[in-house]
Amino acid sequence: MTRRPLDGIRIIDSTYIFAMPYACGMMSDLGADVIKVEGVQHPDRSAAAGSPDNEDGHDPWNRGAAFNQLNRGKRSLTLDLSREEGRQAFKDLVKVSDIVVENYTPRVMRRWEMDYPNLKKLKPDIIMVSNTGYGHGDGVYTQYPGQATTMEATHGLCWITGHPNEMPSKAGASYVDFLACWAGMFAIASALRYRNKTGKGQWIDLGMYQLGCYWTGEYIMDYVANGRENGHIGDRHPWKAPQGCYPCKPSDERESWCTLSVGDEEEWKALCREMGKPEIAADPRFATSMERRKHHDAIDQIVSAWSKNLDKYEMMERLQAAGVPAGAVFDSRDSNLSSHYWARGFLEKVTWAPERGMGTRVLMGRPWKLNKTPLRITEGTHTLGQDNRYLLQDVLGRDDATLKQLEEQQIIGERPISARRGPYVPPNPGRRRDRAGQLDAYLDPDYKKLLDI
């Protein structure tokens, strides 16, 4: 097999939920030996929702869809870090590792004497990533716990993404978690390069709040330069017009939509031609981007009257062929069945051992490709505590009596002491609608056949 970029690198992943688990999952694809550390008291996987085929099986804590996506290819070690014996095992593992990733609030690792100054004493060239909501230091928010969905509010994104005359709105599924994931991987790669050149490790203090601010930079600079406070603009743009999301012909009872964004006069003329209304390109109300911005509501009515009779893919393909940026709005079914995603290698099939009862499933790969180093997901997730014996005995030298004592004291284990259940999706195939009667979610009885799993 071709040597992968992180072969020989051992990473301790003591993180929860999304951002850093996803980063460490992708680093396992890159060849790193990633060790997922959880406590049986509060395992990361316990809140995961969505089991394969909505069947809990004999171990529901190991079957959450999101957990299995984010934590593929990792070993599993359980340690109760609130106990001295658990912390000592963790510290011993640090001595034979390269990178430690954690996402506790700042006071936690200091209280356990496992912050960077203390871990550096154990292994001088250790690289440590501390991913927190608001960063370490003296800032007034430093001790606040962080969740991507609430940080979207504090870094200003909600104010931009909300619709006019409506409440501020979040962007979707934990937007800033993805920013932290990618930024964390870049920082780790930089720290490894620095270590290779100098022999020294370093501490990466990653504040997710700042990442969110970074991606609202044009609005911050507009205030700095012009004193202007930009409100939420919905699907529209400060100068591109028209830009929006337009209704298309429903497909299989599912609502269908397509977005478009017109950036210049040629694109505007092309859109008018595709709609069969070339004459409106010269209408004084629509002659320039600023005029179109003023009369955006009128344009929306024209575009919607045209789009509602088209399949969303047809609309996207026609506009793209005409040189107008457009995109059909995908739901999860569209994404999983996208021939483009499969052609890019972004979706991969992973098969679990038969005793897991998971079968073959489709997971997201990586949002980039390396032309010199073919990569893929090497294996699915390990069960909770599956690698306790290997790591504590073979790697760290604990004997059988010590392992038994740790198990009896519930410092290690293979089952959660108490597992929280995530949201449950009704197992019956068919359509589900919200209180307003809109299609909210549905179960596709043919999904395995369509995915060839």
**Per-residue pLDDT tens over the stretch 89-112:** 999 999 999 999 999 999 999 999
Question: Do 307 and 199 share a structural domain?
Answer: no
CB atoms within 10 A of CB 113: 12
Query: Is 248 found in the same domain as 119?
Result: no
- Mean pLDDT is lowest, of 52-61, 219-228, 278-287, 293-302, for 52-61
User: 48 and 192, same structural domain?
Assistant: yes
Please tell me the distance from the alpha carbon of residue 99 to that of residue 125, in angstroms, as a whole number. 9
223: in domain = no
47 with 143, same domain?
Answer: yes
Q: Would 83 be classed as within a structural domain?
A: yes
Mean pLDDT of the chain: 91
Amino acid in the structure at residue 340: H
Same domain, yes or no, for 266 and 320?
yes
201-241: pLDDT as tens digits: 999 999 999 999 888 888 899 999 999 888 888 899 888 99
| Angle 365-145-140 from CA coordinates, rounded to 5° | 125
Residue 187: strand, helix, or coil: helix
Most confident of 163-172, 299-308, 444-453: 299-308
**Where in the sequence is the domain holding 300, given as residue range(s)?**
243-329
CB atoms within 10 A of CB 390: 12
Rg (CA), the chain: 25
Residues 100 and 184 in one domain: yes
Residue 191 and residue 62 share a domain:
yes
* pLDDT of 408 strictly over 70: yes
Quote the pTM value: 0.90
What was the pLDDT predicted at 50?
Answer: 66
Give the end-to-end CA distance of the chain in Å, rounded to a whole number: 26
Report phi then psi at 402, rounded to 5: -65, -40
Q: How far is 347 from 344, CA to CA, in rounded Å?
A: 8
The answer on pLDDT for 427 being more than 50 is no
Domain annotation covers residue 132: yes
- The CATH number assigned to the domain holding 55 equals 3.40.50.10540
